[in-house]
Amino acid sequence: MRIKKYRQPVICAALLGALTMLPAQEPKWSFTVGGGWTLLPMSSVNSKHRAEIEGWAEQGVPLKDFPELGQAAMTAIRVQYRFSHNGAVTVAYSGFSQEVSSSSLDPGIIFSTSRAISMDDFAVGILQYFPEIIYPVEMYFELAVGRANVKFRGDKIGEVTLYSVPTVFDEVARFSTAQGYAAVALGANLPLFGPLVLNGEVRFKSIQVGPMDGKLVQAGIERAERTLTSFDFSGLYISLGLGLEF
């Protein structure tokens, strides 16, 4: 009778002990939000801006130099599903925008011009974790494909005298397109406390856009237009963020 009396508690205690000895299950999902910086050469666009400043100077309108486009703050969001200890799939979003402007160096000339670029993109990737090198840091390599929506805007506002003729500028040009791309990334996760993880990543994206189609509005009159400049958003996208594993 005594054996029957204590059998159920003993069995429960044995099962509880066995469960505590099982290895902890790795988190399957993670959600990361962060920010970063883009390092994009955009050499054709920036050289076109330098040539434009030189052209205005030759016509007697000295302008400040344009700051270079391609280096801007960005937002990065990523969802990851880890299907094994070393493998995962990801869905990611990133976006940035940047505007630069120039104005007359001559206080007697009222003229300004600006340029702005922006990009939003979504990507899916497959990720491979490396064997642990520096515990508890986890490093990984990722291959991804995505689609980027890019935009460019330029405007000129003011009044200048060109070849002895007063000329009024009131124009805005807007261009946009979508472009598929491929990317590679190298990153690392550092556990902080609980489910929080610090994520750092360097990603190279190959986004060769070329000329863009859009519209030019001059003095209220709109017409179709195509850029003379080829755009290339290829370059490094560096991010740092906080992740939640569950």
Residue 108: CATH number of its domain:
2.40.160.20
Residue 37 lies in a domain: yes
pLDDT in tens, 208-234: 999 999 999 998 899 999 999 999 999
DSSP-assigned states of every residue in 70-103: S--EEEEEEEEE--SSSEEEEEEEEEEEEEEEEE
Q: So what's the pLDDT on residue 32?
A: 98
Residue 17 lies in a domain: no
Residue 98 lies in a domain: yes
pLDDT in tens, 74-89: 999 999 999 999 999 9
The pLDDT-based confidence of 149 (bands split at 50, 70, 90) is very high
pTM of the prediction? 0.86
The pLDDT-based confidence of 165 (bands split at 50, 70, 90) is confident
> How far, in Å, CA of 13 to CA of 19, rounded?
10
| Strand, helix or coil for residue 101 | strand
Of 36, 137, 18, 11, residue with least CA distance to 93? 36
The pLDDT-based confidence of 161 (bands split at 50, 70, 90) is confident
**Rounded to the nearest 5°, which phi and psi values hold at 194?**
60, -135
Residue 5 lies in a domain: no
Residue 138 lies in a domain: yes
Residue 2 lies in a domain: no
β-sheet bridge partners, residue 37:
73, 238
pLDDT in tens, 24-38: 456 799 999 999 999
Residue 7 lies in a domain: no
Domain count, the chain: 1
Q: Is the pLDDT of residue 132 over 50?
A: yes
**Rounded to the nearest 5°, which phi and psi values hold at 155?**
-145, 155
Range of the structural domain that residue 143 is part of: 25-245
Q: So what's the pLDDT on residue 162?
A: 82
> How far, in Å, CA of 65 to CA of 100, rounded?
10
Residue 13 lies in a domain: no
> How far, in Å, CA of 183 to CA of 60, rounded?
45
pLDDT in tens, 88-108: 999 999 999 999 999 999 998
CA 20 to chain centroid, in Å, comes to: 43
* Most distant CA atoms of the chain, gap in Å: 116
